[in-house]
Amino acid sequence: MFLLVGSNIQSLSAVFWGYSILSGITGAFGNAFIIKALEKGDLSVLGPINAYKSVVGMIFAFLLIGELPNTWGFIGIILIIAGSYFVLKPENEIFSWSVLKTPSVRFRFAALVLTGIQAVFDKKIIQSSNLEMAFVSWCVFGAIFSYVICRIYSIKIRHQISLIKFPTLGRYLALCSSIALMVASTNYSFKYMPVGEALALFQISILISVFLGYKIFQEQGLLKKLAGSVIMIIGSLCILLIK
């Protein structure tokens, strides 16, 4: 709301509004799938899967805005897929592609496809306006379509808000603050970097997800998941070498 003060909304183009709507839809449903995935699966597995987001972003960046990957980009894709073998492999079991049929993994892949596409839409929004309006667009249209999702699933928003107690309010504020900083820094990266490179750069969070999953939720297979995550990060770094 503060960013809207003094802004000239009337000067925004149809391109801005069109991509804002598309970004709001893909972002809201992508976040909804992330929540469903976290509800049903391990953080240390679902976090590393996010490395595929750079692959999705690179593909759709090529299709929609003509950003073309080179040999390093394709090597990165292969390494990300190879690393996911270790992350997705069940503890002390033979890897099976049936793991992709588990609800948590399917929700996570659906989320990364949608948020990967959203990244391209966000860059188009930035190109047609500025960083401030891109942030406002994310907040406003994200809220609108999140409300639509709540209505679809008959979620009573007032009732859910009433369940938030004062002792846990700090966690919600921390969540909101971290998301705001993430969106602002992401938009800044998109302004100065190709989408595939920017998304690849974010993959250091893979190690954080694996470690926190082990430390906070006592999830197993730390070393195997770390090894797979490192391979996926190397693949993401290869994508960074696109130029």
The boundaries of the domain holding residue 216 are 13-240
Residue 203 has pLDDT above 80, yes or no: no
Q: Is the pTM of this model over 0.75?
A: no
Q: Are residues 163 and 115 in contact, defined by beta-carbon separation less than 8 angstroms?
A: no
**pLDDT averaged over the chain?**
79
Residue 184 has pLDDT above 80, yes or no: yes
Identify which has the larger pLDDT, 145 or 221. 145
At 125-172, the pLDDT tens digits run 999 999 999 999 999 999 999 999 999 888 888 898 888 888 888 888
Residue 2 lies in a domain: no
Residue 139 lies in a domain: yes
What pLDDT, on the 0 to 100 scale, is given for residue 222? 67
Residue 194's pLDDT band (cuts 50, 70, 90): confident
Identity of the amino acid at 145: F
Give the number of C-alpha atoms closer than 13 A to the C-alpha of residue 212, restricted to the C-beta side.
9
Average pLDDT value for residue range 52-80: 71
Count of domains observed in the chain: 1
Angstrom distance (rounded) from CA 65 to CA 223: 39
Identify which has the larger pLDDT, 94 or 155. 155
Residue 127 lies in a domain: yes
The percent of residues above 90 in pLDDT, for the chain, comes to 24
Identify which has the larger pLDDT, 16 or 212. 16
Residue 7 lies in a domain: no
Angstrom distance (rounded) from CA 120 to CA 138: 13
Residue 29 lies in a domain: yes
Residue 6 lies in a domain: no
Closest CA to 195 of 139, 130, 103, 116: 116
Angstrom distance (rounded) from CA 44 to CA 37: 12
Give pairs for 91-98: CB < 8 Å, separation 24+. 91/220, 91/221, 91/224
Residue 178 lies in a domain: yes
Residue 70 lies in a domain: yes
